[in-house]
Amino acid sequence: MGNRIKELRKEKKITQAQLSAYLHIDQTTVSKWELEKAFPDSKVLSILADYFDVSIDYLLNRTSFYYPRTKARQTFRTHRPKTEFYPFTEI
């Protein structure tokens, strides 16, 4: 997970200090995450996922598929199935 945070941070062109200021935590904490000596708690994971616009699964290395969440939401909205597949919708 540390490599993911570092990769995303560098992609966004921010320093550990800038990320730690955004999260209101100490810079050494971000450094420990990147070195995998510590891990963020679930609340911070959610904030990181929102900040980097990725899924928590991506941060946790459960998937290697990098897909911004906002793009996924847009894709879902534009590629919804037709209403005939839903028998309980009003016509």
47 vs 60: CA distance, rounded Å: 13
Phi and psi at 36, nearest 5°, equal 60, 35
Hey, what amino acid is at 69? Answer: R
* Entry pTM: 0.71
The tens digit of pLDDT for each residue in 5-56 reads 999 999 999 999 999 999 999 999 999 999 999 999 999 999 999 999 999 9
What pLDDT is stored for residue 65 in this prediction? Answer: 77
